[in-house]
Chains A and B, each alone.
Chain A
Amino acid sequence: MALYVYGIMRARDAPAAIAALRKGSAPRASAIDHDEVSALTSSVPDGELQLRRENILAHADVLQAAFQHGPVLPMRLGTAMTDESTVVQELLGPQSANLASRLDALLGKAEMQVKARYLEEPLLRSVLDRDPILRDAVERTRQLPAAATHFEQIRIGEAIAAAVQARQATDGDTLLGVLRPLALAVSIAPPHHERAVMNAGFLVDSDQLDAFDSAVEHLSEERAGEIEFKLIGPLPPYSFVSGEWERANQPRSTA
């Protein structure tokens, strides 16, 4: 057997997280402690992991449940280590002070993910309204049998895609400008959809969560009928634990 590692918590928070996992519907986990940090683990078979749906969901469920009891540093999906001593020697031991201070720095902070996308029909109408030549092309192409128009369809679609991308850039910047000041850091992800406007993770302090929520709500009302918004969180800081991330321009004291 090997040990699947979900994430890392402060050792003092791990017992509550483990107890909660035992009671809930998320998979059980154990804690391996070292100095001030703990790794949350489960036993898995040796060898390559076949990650099926239930494993993927379990990874997120365990971290989400644990997160209710303290800061969490998620591990990359699919990380498994040989045994307990390997976890200590290779993961917790070499970095324990660093991990502990990162966890302390994340206390009271969560990731909020904002996924915004254009509604299809208003978007397409708007694209055609601003581009009479394209609109004309659409009208003409409709008159022809489908077999004759495959190439034209691609050209039309490409022109639409380009127009959409241009708007995404502008609107994305506008939305970002509203939300960035309310966050400690931002992580821009690749578009989640071909009509995406924004797909971003924001690291938000707990005392700013209400303001952030209100700001997204306000944007959603402002752009109703044009852009639909999805707000996910509070999440463990998935987007903020590997390498650097872009910092919002507001120094904030963590004290």
Chain B
Amino acid sequence: MAVAAMQPQSMSQLQRHPGPSGLAEVLDVILDKGIVIDVYVRVALVGIELLTVDARIVIASVDTYLRFAEAVNRLDLTQVGKSETLPEMVGDMTESGSSGKTKGILEGAKDALFGGGDDDDDDGDEKSGSSRGRSSSSGRSSSRSRSRSSGGSSSGGSSSGGSSSGGSSSRSSRSRSSSGSRSR
């Protein structure tokens, strides 16, 4: 079996591993894969040990939202961004001492935060569906980990095959809950 030629590690940050390293990565590589004869899969995946290292993240969940929110709160927003900006608005906001604005903020929170509805990637479903989606996504996340712990779940079949036109269609059906009615 030919082994890939070893390239010098340049500035590219590419990490190469001959095989999966660490329990989480091994699980990600081998779980729900391979030839299966259901009656002979005798696994009781030990719940606690696995759940603490299960690296599979459910994208649309409240935990994820809070993590993103926390991460963005740590950003130093006085830096000017490198990608597209609307220069005038950025200029105003970065100097904001918004003491004058806080009075109304709780009353007008929803509108003030998400008023215009002109998010460039928004298809409108994200907001109206979000409360519905949130509960369903968190429901889904818990059922995903439950079904995995019983072994031989349907997640194995869909991840490696059965997709029709694009691989991306299977991806979107797995990872989207509320905010994607975007068809691929």
A residues neighboring B (CB under 8 Å): 2, 5, 7-8, 47-53, 56-57, 59-60, 63-64, 67-70, 73-81, 90-91, 108, 110, 112-113, 120-122, 124-144, 148, 151-166, 169, 172-173, 176, 186-194, 196, 199-201, 206-207, 209-210, 212-214, 216-217, 220-221, 224, 228-235, 238-246
A213 with B121: CB separation less than 8 A: no
20 A-B Cβ contacts within 8 A?
A2-B42, A7-B35, A76-B35, A79-B35, A80-B42, A112-B4, A130-B83, A130-B120, A135-B90, A158-B179, A160-B68, A161-B59, A164-B68, A172-B171, A187-B159, A191-B59, A217-B10, A221-B10, A241-B33, A245-B160
Instruction: List 16 additional A-B contacts (Cβ < 8 Å) besides A56-B23, A224-B13, A243-B161.
Output: A52-B46, A79-B42, A110-B1, A112-B4, A126-B81, A129-B81, A138-B73, A143-B99, A153-B70, A159-B126, A165-B175, A191-B171, A192-B55, A217-B7, A230-B17, A232-B25
Question: A148-B106, A245-B161 are contacts. A229–B167 as well, Cβ < 8 Å?
Answer: no
Identify the interface centre among B12, B71, B159: most chain A CB within 10 Å of its CB: B12
Contacts of A209 in B (CB 8 A): 2-5
Instruction: Give B158-175 as 1s and 0s: 1 = Cβ < 8 Å from A's Cβ atoms.
Output: 011111001110111011
Q: Do A138 and B7 touch across chains, with their CB atoms under 8 A apart?
A: no
Closest-by-CB residue of B relative to A243 is B161
B interface residues with partner A (beta carbon < 8 Å): 1-5, 7, 10-20, 23, 25-37, 40-46, 49, 55-57, 59-60, 62, 64-73, 75, 77, 79, 81-86, 89-90, 93, 96, 98-99, 101-102, 105-106, 109, 112-116, 118-122, 126, 130, 134, 151-152, 155-157, 159-163, 166-168, 170-172, 174-176, 179-180, 182, 184
List A contacts of B99 (CB < 8 A). 143
Q: How far is the CA of A199 from the CA of B57 in the complex (A)?
A: 12
Known: A143-B102, A217-B12, A229-B15. A157 touches B68 (CB 8 A): yes
Q: Cβ of B26 and Cβ of A74 under 8 Å apart? A: no
A161:B60 contact, CB within 8 angstroms: yes
Contact B40 A156 (CB under 8 A): no
CB pair A139 B14 closer than 8 Å? no
B163 touches A130 (CB 8 A): no
Is B160 a contact partner of A187 (Cβ separation < 8 A)? yes
B73 and A133 contacting across the interface, CB-CB below 8 Å = no
B171 touches A190 (CB 8 A): yes
Q: In the bound complex, what is the Cα–Cα distance between A213 and B5 (angstroms)?
A: 8
Report whether A154 and B157 are in contact in the complex, using a CB–CB cutoff of 8 Å.
no
Chain A nearest CB, measured from B13 CB (Å): 5
Residues in B whose Cβ lies below 8 Å from that of A165: 59-60, 175-176, 179-180
Q: How far is the CA of A229 from the CA of B55 in the complex (A)?
A: 17
Compute how far the CA of A240 lies from the CA of B17 in the bound complex, rounded to whole angstroms: 20
In the complex formed, the residue of B with least CB distance to A154 is: B65
Q: Cβ of A142 and Cβ of B73 under 8 Å apart?
A: yes
CB within 8 A of A57: which of B23, B118, B126? B23
- In the bound complex, do residue B46 and residue A51 qualify as a contact, i.e. CB atoms below 8 Å apart? yes
- Option from B34, B49, B70 in Cβ contact (under 8 Å) with A7: B34
| B96/A139 in contact, CB under 8 A | yes
A200 to B167, CA, bound (A): 9
Tell me the bound Cα distance from A242 to B44 in angstroms. 21
Q: Which of B10, B30, B72 contacts A238 (CB 8 A)?
A: B30
Residue of B14, B31, B119 with most chain A CB atoms under a 10 A cut-off: B14
B156-A76 in contact (CB<8A): yes
A5, B120: Cα distance in complex, Å: 51
Whether A128 lies near B72 (C-beta < 8 A) is yes
Cα distance A130–B43 in the bound complex, in angstroms: 47
Q: A76-B41, A80-B42, A133-B114 are in contact. Are A242 and B179 (CB under 8 A)?
A: no
Given contacts A193-B57, A233-B4, contact A153 B66 (CB under 8 A): yes
Question: What residues of A have a CB within 8 angstroms of the CB of B109 in the complex?
Answer: 151-152
